[in-house]
Amino acid sequence: MEALSLGKRVPLAGGVRDWRQWLSRGLVFTDLLVLVWVIFGVQIAWLGFDSDNVSFQGALDSLAVNYSTVSLVLIVAWMAMLAIYDTRDARVIGAGPTEYRLIADASLRMFGLVAIVSFLFQINLARGYILIAFPSGVAVLWLSRWLWRQWLGVKRQTGEFCSRVLLVGTPTSVRHLRIELARHPEEGYHVVGECWSGVASGSVQEPSVPVYFDLDSIDQAMAETRADTLVITSAEELTPETVRRLSWKLDGDRQQLIVGASLTDVAGPRIHTRPVASLPLIHVEVPRYEGPRHLGKRALDIVGSAALIMLLAPLLVVLALVVKLTSAGPVIYRQERVGLNGKSFMMYKFRSMRVNADAELAQLLTTQGKGDRPLFKVDDDPRITPVGRFLRKHSLDEFPQLFNVLFGTMSLVGPRPQRHGEVALYDEAARRRLLLKPGMSGLWQVGGRSTLSWEDSIRLDLFYVENWSLTGDLIVLWRTIRAVLAPGKEAK
């Protein structure tokens, strides 16, 4: 394929500018409401309605500025910093941690600037006013954006407020990315067309979206599908020079060009782009399973499990009595599971099944034709007691595992703990789950629970093992609390 000519720009999709501008303006409005409420609220709470003027020293000692004026200046400066750091860009809002990180970065730098100006000009601002306004503002801004995400996620399930994507590449790479984008509609990418390379028209079964078989027809494809985002998954015919010239034809404000690397299940923090000799080289960090970060994870496990045991002690006693009084057998169910590096440990749970339920498992799996699958799940399990069904639905049966976490055999967040029989069926990829301690909760717990297939379960666990972080653990724990309090239909 020859290099593309520098003709007229690719036409824009109708409505592209509208939804992005509308969303940005909505965020400006809510950000402003949040900052006015927080800053003036802190001012009134800390200084009262009749606050003194700000104290200046040096050459400005005769200048009197009311704290209300200072609050207005802070609001304007904060709004400007949020705009400078692109916290309302359509590319970052709606999913992922980038939006929250940009808000924190912008806020931190704004208050750092306030501190520098106050020091240089000897402005004596009330410390409590500043120290309360900063973290409160960040927290409420995060809450506001989280509420936006919930609304936006519902809209994107129906294809609204999404980038219209044209995929370009080989049929295999295009299909893979199409499936992944469909799996995560909250990311805001809706595939409206595909352009395949190296395939003759009619030789492959076409998907439900329009398909083009000539890379020279990219302009036509974007116009006919009204796509505003061009994603290149792979194409040997698209040389670096061709890709560069194609980017020149797009409207940088309202159209996007995305070049997908041949990487799967690699989280953003492990990826670093470094331009070398005009080449955008992608550095991918190799997963590490020891070091200071793991000490931090262990510290979180100890502090978190100890605090939860003390906080939940009355509930644990009540649950133990309920189990004891409603069915015959021990209160605590003990079972050998496989942990870190394949070492066995004894896992504790509140008993949710009748006595000798393990002896019935093999027969039930054989009856349902699941004996050769690594994930031992029985549909409509008859062994579960009525109380046990309630405990399982709300994950209350797993609370004794807090002692496993405290003793170091499990973690608060990690891969799903499994039986020896399940581990015996692992392939080489699945065995990587054993590189981290199993968790009380994990991506499997908040991503589908009982409805997950073996393939989805292993995919989530492997993603966690290779991309875990303390921030990610905190997010999983928060989502776990929501899943316990309001379990969905997938909880059984």
pLDDT in tens, 157-193: 888 888 888 988 888 888 888 888 888 888 888 898 8
- Structure confidence at residue 460 (pLDDT): 84
The pairing of strands 271-276 and 279-284 is antiparallel
- Structure confidence at residue 449 (pLDDT): 59
Structural domains in the chain?
16-157 (no CATH), 163-262 (3.40.50.720), 292-485 (no CATH)
Identify the helix (H) or strand (E) that includes residue 15: none
Q: Give the burial string for 15-25 (b: 16+ CB within 10 Å, else e).
A: ebeeebeebee
CB count in 10 Å sphere of residue 366: 11
- Structure confidence at residue 368 (pLDDT): 57
DSSP letter for 61, please: T
Give per-residue pLDDT as tens, 336-383.
Answer: 999 988 899 999 999 888 887 767 666 766 665 555 555 556 666 778
- Structure confidence at residue 55 (pLDDT): 47
- Structure confidence at residue 83 (pLDDT): 92
- Structure confidence at residue 6 (pLDDT): 43
Burial of residue 94, with CB atoms counted within 10 A of its CB: 0-12 exposed, 13-18 middle, 19 or more buried: buried
450 touches 477 (CB < 8 A): no
In the block, which residue shows the tokens 């007691």? 385
Which residues are paired to 333 by β-bridges? 349
Identify the helix (H) or strand (E) that includes residue 177: helix 171-183
> Which residues, given as ranges, of the chain have pLDDT below 50?
1-7, 50, 54-64
Angstrom distance (rounded) from CA 304 to CA 237 = 54
Nearest to 218 by CA among 250, 253, 182: 250
Q: Give the burial string for 187-216 (b: 16+ CB within 10 Å, else e).
A: bbbbbbbbbbbeeeeeeeeeeeeebbbebe
